[in-house]
Amino acid sequence: MRYVLFALSVLLVTAVGLAGAEDKPAASPAPSASAAETTASPTPTPKPTLEPGVDADGLVLKLEGPFHYKMADGVIVEPVDIAFRLETAVGEKELELNTNPYACMTIEVMDDANRKPLEKTGDFPKDGKAFKLILSEGSYYGGAFKGLQDHFDLSEGGRFWVRAKYKLGEKEAVSDWTALDIYTRVVVRIKTREGEFVIWLREDKAPRTCENFEKLVKKGFYDHLIFHRVENRPNFKLIQGGCPHGDGTGGPGYTIDFEDSGLKHEAGAVGMGLTGNDKNSAGSQFYICVEPIPSLDGRYCVFGKVIEGMDTVKRICAVQTRTDMPNRPKIDVEMEKVTLEYWK
């Protein structure tokens, strides 16, 4: 099936895209970013190093993170549960455990801002039932510290680090410090040869579309894909990428239904590309508006916005394009690395 971009002229490639305005001469390249300040900034004090975990005679304790928990209106939406597993790589181990992990193990929390341990805000639960377990080589025992927010003050949000300890005789198995993010915003950072930029995913406005985008980022789907389309015309400036074929004809192998987020196509808006006029044909391709394009409002799902690095987006939009395909960069602009971040 051919993907239809929009009929402007026979020179434009058939692709997943947007319905545009009438064809016009290319605009002048966007101005380059202003020069960086030359005044030297004070060197920040380095944060203390996070000590690696240690085993106890081959008994290894792992936390199943990193952990991400959303905060809304100053309240953590779900209980903060820290999953763990004990496993042995050498021989059998007899473990004294409890159905309540707080009763047989130790958990510590540290604020990333200053790398100092948090004090407990109350006693750990004392319920649970003690039991013994023979852990064979190659097997494991798993569980979770439930409701961590009830025992440590995580209300400020941001990044924390957690680790657990389990005593085996005279030795102690200690997990690695593992990231715990209490966040209000999920963002995506995209690194290119022109610089980096950050997209805020509007989960509150387009939850299904954002969920799909996050899933693809986690899989590494976007790494090394290119921005195959650049439109730098008066009143129609955008960049588009996310095609695994690099020509605007591909996707992830499935489509998602349209969501009307109600968000406008303002400068920095991020939306999903479609196949022709089929609103339910979005997959992986997305575009970023360099300036407002109100003619697209309501026709495509806007699911995010560039909140850092808009100068990078403008530089990509201003790259030289091919003479035979005026909206295709002459030198590929690759998404070198695309990662999720969880912001306070």
Report d(CA 336, CA 56) in Å as an integer: 40
What confidence category does residue 317 fall into, taking pLDDT thresholds of 50, 70 and 90? very high
93-117 tens-digit pLDDT = 999 999 999 999 999 999 998 899 9
Rounded average pLDDT over 165-182: 96
pLDDT at 1: 38
- Determine the distance from the C-alpha atom of residue 115 to the mean position of all C-alpha atoms in its chain, rounded to a whole number: 23
- Closest listed residue to residue 3, CA positions, set 282, 258, 196, 206: 282
Mean of all residue pLDDT scores within the chain = 89
Instruction: Show Cβ contacts of residue 43 under 8 Å, excluding neighbours closer than 6 positions.
Output: none
Judged by average pLDDT, the poorest of 30-34, 66-70, 207-211, 212-216 is 30-34
Does residue 163 contact residue 176 with C-beta atoms inside 8 Å? Answer: yes
What burial letters (b/e) apply to 66-97, b meaning 16+ CB within 10 Å? ebebbbeeeebeeebebebebbbeeeebebeb
pLDDT greater than 90 at residue 23: no
pLDDT at 33: 41
What confidence category does residue 2 fall into, taking pLDDT thresholds of 50, 70 and 90? very low
pLDDT greater than 80 at residue 52: yes
Same fold, 59-182 and 185-343: no
Task: Quote the percentage of the chain above a pLDDT of 90.
Answer: 81
Give me 16's structure tokens.
């997943």
pLDDT at 138: 86
Report d(CA 273, CA 18) in Å as an integer: 6
Rounded average pLDDT over 328-338: 97
pLDDT greater than 80 at residue 274: yes
State the pTM of this model: 0.79
pLDDT greater than 60 at residue 10: no
pLDDT greater than 70 at residue 22: no
From the options 2.60.40.10, 1.10.15.40, 3.30.479.30, 3.40.50.970, give the CATH code of 59-182. Answer: 2.60.40.10
CA dihedral 179, 183, 189, 195 (to 10 degrees): -100
pLDDT at 36: 40
Task: Quote the percentage of the chain above a pLDDT of 70.
Answer: 87
Does residue 86 contact residue 166 with C-beta atoms inside 8 Å? Answer: yes
Give me 13's structure tokens.
């490639």
Class of domain 185-343 (CATH, top level): mainly beta
Rounded average pLDDT over 2-21: 40
Domain boundaries defined on the chain: 59-182, 185-343
275-305 tens-digit pLDDT = 988 999 999 999 999 999 999 999 999 999 9
111-130 tens-digit pLDDT = 998 899 999 998 899 899 99
240-254 tens-digit pLDDT = 999 999 999 999 999
Give me 148's structure tokens.
């961590």
